[in-house]
Structure 1
């Protein structure tokens, strides 16, 4: 078997385009290039910081003492995995996908090898850090994912084969174990909740496979959601992190780990000062459970939720946008057994406030399956408490894509001037025209004008309006009457429950706008 590096495209499933820049997750686990490495040197401008009056926050004269203290516990992680030709990793030359050279080389290989598929070994490099002198090492899941061999290399050059204890793809964390004859240097966890925007941090890792490197910067932002998973809560830092830094630690000035470097936003794959680290308070609970059980068990409520927008907040009687709006409930879920209903807004979970939609999945996930929890909810303008027994999270179902067909004729329908919509009752003809089953209830949208406020909310012909506020609707005239009344009121916001392809979601239509 031959060994050849995998091109970056082999990890393309972890690549998300963000405008003209790019978000790299797997890219931080550096894959050595085949021919050459373009070295890009970027000058970093001096920062003029305003003294806030806190003496211990002034810029240190040197980070040397901190670096000397923590770097012995930061390791390089190398891993290998077997790949077939279809992965594109069999090429000893890193030709771009679709290049004519790629086809040429494939023809050459088929002539030489008869066109048979061969297995090759792809190498990946990343970083990690020792959290226990007994040899426990934390890194990113994407650094060692699907690996057959993992090696941890200490700063003094000592290499240890590493055993995989457990992984958690949802938070992109992995725990390794090496066996050493003596206690290894380790670093302690810090409290990421105390990391403030503007605090100094130090990142340590293995950029581009060069070996242990130290960079410094500040915490640029907190609680970043980069849409990589249901538990996104990243620290944003401007300390330079690059490909190969994945899994390395971010330290506070006392040498405690406050984050695990995981992702960057970049137009080129190199650092532009926007990096993301998993906060230590999230990581250490996951790592502790991986160490104890080898896997993660998470709580499950069984609801689909939406963000409460300002218009929705006005329409449902909240003084500000907050909480998580329940759109759908799994009939066999703990939420259904607890009598939670679509339209309820979850404001708190076991006393912890739910300020944004994404707060609720984290709170539920951290609850022990089988435990009792209290939900503070808003229902029909009134707050109440609901008790629920938390279930165990199962693998998620794949969500259906929105491929609705706008074609079809459901009849003339009824015009609503306020909504700029042609609406129709769910007659057999309408159900056939829009492929709606007999269980679907409500009023179907037949057509929309260009300036319809429903267009601004993403609605289209074939969507079914099931409810306006707290009232179920079955006739177009009901919707027209409620819309006209809302427009004349002091709260001209119409909250609708809409069904698309069998899935419900709430929208808020601002009729005044």
Structure 2
């Protein structure tokens, strides 16, 4: 018993010595404490931001459930007459065989009474449009209107009951890194949901129309076109439009028309029957390191104004060459895509607060947007303007820009022959409209020669080099 008592006493003494040594050497005021040697560390109870993919952090089920019932399958049926040139040559056979062509895509119901938004390329040249809902019901759709430039179309079906729909969200408030869902019908697989994040905003991928896509890494494949891009609340923030791929299938990035642009187009079609385009009335380009160095300025972000359109809202408000646009209505403008994307949500006579840098001083000017029809541009002494409905009908065109006047001395002797001609392409790039042509011309050097293809007033095709 005495032996065990000694062991107990030794154990207690060992514990006391160990605890005392720890307090002396390592406690807050101990010899080896950080405070003794001037080292500062974060408190253990400081707030931290947890990042993870657990069910407690992310839950897409509500957003998916809300969206799949409002995303529809769009079937485009068109008919094409195919002739046999051998029969025509040897036997004078003039008939042809009519073939049915079927294309498919997706659409999003945006109202309980059956309005559906999709891509223009999904329903282009359609003779019949058939809509299949998520509950397998089918309806014939009427094409209400389209905007080929922004690749948006509006359809309408007459259902026998109120339909589930997805409400538009504010695409301007979308943040890079935000989780999103793409919902559509790839490869005719209905109600397919994929997830990803917003990879970039105001992405310009060289499209001749829209230059302000939302880029995501949510998987999008053929058949997804016209489908919904929604946030985790189920708000519609974009219309899935295209992918970047060498194979035709998804390889990493997809692109969507921002909801604010799509909503504005839809509202214009419903209210006016066509799209109302407002313009700022400036020409130029976005800044970057090399451009800023060439211009002799320090700023490397923003839109540099090279020219102000006559009689435009920009000219009337006092914007001048050399001004750098850095904000529109308080939103930062770092690229051309930022500027064009925001202006595409506005209409003629809307007012926009334009913040500029002028001679190192920041200034905000209120500009009233002009009508797109009045927009013109000048390059190498040739003033260009958009073609009108009469020109389109006369020459059976849906694109091109008209030569309004000639001030180039070298071309003065040909002025009468050139005025009124319609330019179809510049250096083999289609001249879609004046806005696209202005951007193309601003990227070229004044001393650089260009090849123009045009139609004259008699409908003859001409090619010249200037």
**TM-score normalised to structure 1 length:** 0.58
After superposition, the Cα gap between the structure-2 partners of 1:342 and 1:284, relative to the gap in structure 1 and judged at 3 Å, is same
User: C-alpha distance in 2, partners of 1:257/1:345?
Assistant: 33
C-alpha distance in 1 between matches for 2:222 and 2:58:
29
Is 2:368 aligned against 1:389? yes
Q: What CA distance in whole angstroms lies between the structure 2 residues aligned with 1:153 and 1:290?
A: 23
Per-residue CA deviation, residues 373-417 of structure 1 (Å, 9 max, x unaligned), is: 44333445555455543211129779989xxxxxxxxxxxxxxxx
Structure 1 residues 358-369: aligned runs within 5 Å: 358-369=337-348
1:192 aligns with 2:139: no
Deviation at residue 83 of structure 1 after TM alignment: 4.0
1:499 maps to which residue? Answer: 446
**Separation of aligned partners in 2, 1:371 and 1:199:** 30
Partner of 1:78: 75
Q: Which residue does 2:310 correspond to in 1?
A: 331
Match of residue 240 from structure 2: 261
Whether 2:122 is the aligned partner of 1:122: answer no
Greater percentage in helix: 2
Give the CA RMSD over aligned residues: 3.8
Q: Which of 101, 110, 113 is matched with 1:131 structurally?
A: 110
Shift of 1:126: 0.8
Deviation, 1:347, is: 3.0
Partner of 2:262: 283
Q: Deviations over 1:446-482 (max 9, x none)?
A: xxxxxxxxxxxxxxxxxxxxxxxxxxxxxxxxxxxxx
Greater CA deviation, 172-181 or 329-338? 329-338
The answer to whether the 8 A contact 1:219-1:235 is kept is yes
Structure-2 residue corresponding to 1:463: none
- Note if contact 2:212-2:340 (Cα within 8 Å) is conserved in structure 1: no
2:77 match: secondary structure:
strand
Q: Structure 2 vs 1, CA of residues 327 and 257 (structure 1 numbering), >3 Å: closer, same or farther?
A: same
Q: Output the CA distance in 2 between the equivalents of 1:345 and 1:326.
A: 6
> 1:217 aligns to what?
196
Q: How far apart are residue 184 of structure 1 and its match?
A: 1.1
Q: Retained in 1: the 8 A contact 2:237–2:259?
A: yes
- In structure 2, C-alpha distance between the alignment counterparts of 1:332 and 1:436, rounded to whole Å: 26
Deviation at 1:216, TM superposition (A): 2.8
User: Alpha carbons of 1:119 and 1:270: their partners in 2 closer, same or farther (altered >3 Å)?
Assistant: same
CA positional deviation for 1:77: 0.7
Conserved 8 A contact 1:166-1:290: yes
Whichever of the two has the greater Rg, that structure is: 2
C-alpha spacing 1:186/1:388, structure 2 compared with 1 (3 Å)? closer
Corresponding position of 1:53: 50
Cα distance, 1:263 vs structure 2: 0.4
Change (3 A) 1:437 1:340: farther
**How many residues end up aligned between the 2 structures?**
346
Q: Is the 8 A contact 2:264 2:345 kept in 1?
A: no
Distance 1:265 1:280 in 2: 20
Cα deviation 1:297-337 (Å, max 9, x = unaligned): 12123322112222443565654312211223333433344
- For structure 1, the residue ranges without an aligned partner over 5 or more in a row are 1-50, 85-89, 92-104, 402-430, 439-496, 504-513
Deviations 1:25-62 (A, max 9, x none): xxxxxxxxxxxxxxxxxxxxxxxxxx961578758798
Q: How far does residue 245 in structure 1 lie from its aligned partner after superposition?
A: 0.9
1:144 corresponding residue in structure 2: 123
